[in-house]
A and B are shown apart, each in its own frame.
Chain A
């Protein structure tokens, strides 16, 4: 729906959904292309949004204990939802079932919804008149809200908004978002060693909890 509203063809929308299959990156790519970004900066922004999947993968590889030959096939399903479900399971068998069922059903449903949404949007015509251009940022906001738990995260978000919007008239399309990503190390550096040690402790606690 969001892709079709930004000038992608039906085939492009479906290919994006099938091949990329990580929601935030898809929306980011479509958003950057719609904003007139060149394909490489647009892809870079989408790529960085997908980087967190590597961190799910690290934890999942320990829990799933997949044979190396199977890993390339499981990789496409390493996303927020499968990680959330799989990490909550008590046994290896349940982790594998949770990962597979969530991965398969989301892959089918997500791509089916994309197809129906794209066909529907083409039939509707001018999506802006229906307010559909607000759907993209609203999805981002809904994804972002649960992540803003502490003052550090809110400071990062606030600084990123200022950088992302403030640099918009100055830098080429796609670049302001990448610069805004520097809000994360900047805030971490500003909050200093105190937060670093607290974070270290929290991270150790996380690991202990997860290993139990």
Chain B
């Protein structure tokens, strides 16, 4: 049930911001500071989420096979590998390290 609540709230919220962008009068969101923040806030959110999904086990911080997988993804990105290959590298290396360490 909580999952359905989360889906409903997210769906309504995400649809609302998409629509607001189309309806808001020009000029309000084009202020330089607002534009800078709008570009930087997703960077902060994505960075924090990436780190959490890599190092979090519930509310504790751990270093496990996922860290190796993300390191592999980072290397793939530096080598300009395509999107799917980046994700595949993370999955394969994580599974490999997990299999080796039991």
Contacts and interface: CB of A to CB of B under 8 A. Distances in A.
Interface of A: 8-9, 12, 15-16, 19-22, 24-25, 27-29, 31, 33, 35-36, 38-40, 42-43, 45-58, 60-62, 66, 68, 71-72, 74-76, 78-79, 128-145, 147-148, 152-153, 156-161, 163-165, 168-169, 173, 176-177, 180-185, 187-188, 196, 199-200, 203-204, 207
B2 to A, nearest CB: 5
Given A16-B10, A76-B18, A165-B56, A152 B40 contact: yes
Interface residues of B, number: 70
Given A54-B17, A58-B26, A71-B23, A48 B40 contact: no
B11 A20 contact: yes
A184 B44 CA distance: 6
Interface in B62-92: 65-66, 69-70, 73-74, 77, 83, 86-87, 89-92
B17 A50 contact: yes
Contacts of A164: 47-49, 51-52
Given A62-B26, A137-B90, A161 B17 contact: no
A187 B23 CA distance: 30
A42 B4 CA distance: 12
Contacts of B18: 22, 50, 53-54, 57, 75-76, 78-79
Contact of B45 (A45, A128, A133): A45
Contacts of A144: 43, 46-47, 50
B56 A161 contact: no
A16 B7 contact: yes
B17 A53 contact: yes
For the complex of A and B, 5 pairs with smallest distance between CB atoms: A57-B21, A164-B48, A131-B95, A131-B94, A180-B48
The interface centre, meaning the residue of B20, B42, B48, B61 with most chain A CB atoms within 10 A of its CB, is: B48
B43 A48 contact: no
B95 A75 contact: no
7 contacts: A20-B11, A33-B2, A39-B2, A40-B5, A55-B38, A130-B91, A133-B66
